[in-house]
Amino acid sequence: MSIAAAIGDTIEDEPKPPPPPDKRGKATPYLLMLPGMLWLAVFFVVPLIFLFMTSLQTPVPGGEVGQFQQTFSFSNYVETLTDDTYYVPLIRSFVYSAIATILALLIGYPLAYAIAFKGGKYRNVMLILVIAPFFVSFILRTIAWRQILADEGPVVAVLRTLGLVGDTAGIYPSAFAVIMGLTYNFLPFMTLPIYASLERVDPRLVEAAGDLYAKPMTGFFKVTFPLSMPGVVAGTLLTFIPAAGDYVNAALLGRPSNTMIGNRIEYTFLSVNDYPTAAVLSFILMATILVMVLVYIRRVGTEDLV
């Protein structure tokens, strides 16, 4: 073999360098994200900036009601947080939404489990029944609960039969009615994410737990429930966040003493025309929810969400 041929064989055996990266390929994901980012910038970021600037305004001296000037007054936040007219409904909103979220989890998890593992050929029908309330107006569904929880309704009749409610006592309007409305209206937001997680659970893992002599309850808490945690975390967030800012249920099912922060913001914006205070309340609500969500995800979140 000649020296040239040997050198040629050696060169052919050496691995070829990778082709240079395609710069257009790197830019493609960013180009695809551009429309969505522009949409968020125009309809989310810009309104937030205007809302924040509004929260720093003060009334015009000697001006009419609803006239404000930009003074960058951060004292608006301090005054609002120290006024029980505002911070009490804020605390009440978080208490109501937390209770509704827990109730939705206690109801939604067994429902999602039954659909995922026991639904069989009726699985699609059961899923349709879960999302069917979305085809009815949110307000109409809440008004329906006024009839269900009214003194002449079926719930009060059963409670009176059991001796849990007196003949003259009722449960509407009340904090109980508000929480029931929140639980019902946001129950699908809890059920569907949990179902999506349970549907991905490999049945062979559950069978393996049984083969290792784990009792059904032990297998559930050691295998099924941990694997469904992404759905639980997503469901609790999707339930708690909108419930904390809701005002329809408190307005239709509660008393003035059951006012939530959403009702206070709506009243301050539209009735009092105190735009800076309403903007402050909105920012405080958003900031508080954001902090609570971050803490919650760090404490009980999963690798899929962190």
Query: In angstroms, rounded to a whole number, what is the distance separating the alpha carbons of residues 53 and 46?
Result: 11
At 188 the pLDDT is 94
| Segment 225-263, tens digit of pLDDT | 999 999 999 999 999 999 999 999 999 999 999 999 999
Around Cβ 186, how many Cβ atoms within 10 Å? 25
Assess whether pLDDT exceeds 70 at residue 2: no
**Lowest-pLDDT range of 64-78, 189-203, 232-246:** 64-78
At 305 the pLDDT is 46
Dihedral sign for Cα atoms in the order 263, 268, 269, 270: positive
Q: Taking a C-beta distance cutoff of 8 angstroms, is the pair 148, 176 a contact?
A: no
**DSSP 8-state class, residue 171:** -
- Which amino acid, residue 149? L
Sorted by where each starts, the structural domains of the chain and their CATH numbers stand as 84-300 (1.10.3720.10)
At 306 the pLDDT is 41
> What is the mean predicted confidence (pLDDT) over 97-121?
93
What SS3 state is found at 13? helix
**114: CB partners within 8 A, 6+ apart:** 126
Query: In angstroms, rounded to a whole number, what is the distance separating the alpha carbons of residues 81 and 208?
Result: 54
User: What φ, ψ does residue 166 adopt, rounded to 5°?
Assistant: -70, 170
At 207 the pLDDT is 81
User: What φ, ψ does residue 13 adopt, rounded to 5°?
Assistant: -75, -25
Residue whose tokens read 């040239």: 4
User: What φ, ψ does residue 211 adopt, rounded to 5°?
Assistant: -65, -25
Dihedral sign for Cα atoms in the order 257, 174, 267, 93: positive
> What is the mean predicted confidence (pLDDT) over 181-201?
94
